[in-house]
Amino acid sequence: MTDILIETLDLAKRFGAKVAVDRVNLQVQAGEIFGFLGPNGAGKTTTIKMIVGLLQPTSGAVRVAGHDVQTEPLAAKAASGFVPDEPNLYTKLSARELLRFVAELYDVEPGVVERRIEELLRLFDLTAAADDLIDSYSHGMRQKASLAAALVHDPRVLVLDEPTVGLDPKSARLIKDLLRQLAQRGAAVFLSTHILEIAERMCDRIGIINRGGLVAVGTMAELRAMGQGQASLEDIFLSLTGGAEDAAIAEVLQ
């Protein structure tokens, strides 16, 4: 029996008259890296925010680690870690203080907290700056601190919104390796990205959202089969979401 860790059931979100997410159904299993793609404004971040409990759906449901995010929020949240697209952190805390704060929010075993923090700081190359205020961190360092905060309680579900934006190649590689290892240890990784190469190489399955609706879900092979002979994910993505017209490009460059 497969262990489904993320499941959305007819998930929808409206902002007034605007439909941001329209009856999205998807599942992510334990040990799987799921890539979530879509053009700007397609509903990726809104979907992610509903999965992690930042937004309440207008209708439908989200289940994380078997718990409904709306009716059993504590259990669902305890099982998941989240990395937002913008690493907005408490700038007047140091990375060490931030990680300790998050560990206590997630009620991590007191005896484990300090060791876990040291491991994460070392892993993300933040040890030297661990006691500096986040105020003085670069975007990349904040992104890494944000990732460390998401991992401090060893979540079974990790949701990442554009995790590699602003990271140097070494850090981006580190994150890719880390996500792969987390999946191998049985975690479910839900990852949104605009970098199709990352999605193609890393993700076990990919979902493409356009104008709030899920237009395709499957493995690369399944997507290729749907793409009528198109080999690359870029071609499949553009054919499903509508790419830029040649004439429009020529007009801009003229």
**Structure tokens that stand for 97 in this block:** 């203080």
Residue 177 binding another protein, by CB under 8 A: no
Residue 187 lies near another protein (rule: CB under 8 A): no
61 contributes a contact to another protein by CB under 8 A: no
Q: Report d(CA 168, CA 91) in Å as an integer.
A: 21
Stretch that binds another protein, among 1-9, 98-106, 213-221, 240-248 (CB under 8 A): 98-106
Angle at 184 between CA 68 and CA 156, to 5 degrees: 25
Neighbouring-strand partners of residue 80: 157
Beta pairing class for 188-192 and 59-64: unpaired
Of 104, 154, 197, 234, the residue at the interface with another protein (CB under 8 A) is 104
Of residues 117-156, which lie at the interface with another protein (CB under 8 A)?
129, 131-133, 135-138, 149
How many residues touch another protein (CB under 8 A)?
A: 48
CB half-sphere exposure, 229, CA atoms < 13 A: 0
CA 108, CA 224: separation in Å to the nearest integer?
A: 43
Q: Which residue from 4, 30, 78, 195 is in contact with another protein, where contact means CB under 8 A?
A: 78
Assess 90 for contact with another protein (CB under 8 A). yes
Stretch near another protein under the rule CB under 8 A, chosen from 88-96, 171-179, 202-210, 222-230: 88-96
Distance CA 236, CA 238 (A): 6
Handedness of CA 209, 215, 221, 222 (dihedral sign): positive
Instruction: Give the footprint of another protein on this chain (CB under 8 A).
Output: 14-16, 52-56, 73-75, 77-78, 80, 82, 84, 86, 88-94, 96-97, 100-102, 104-107, 110-115, 129, 131-133, 135-138, 149
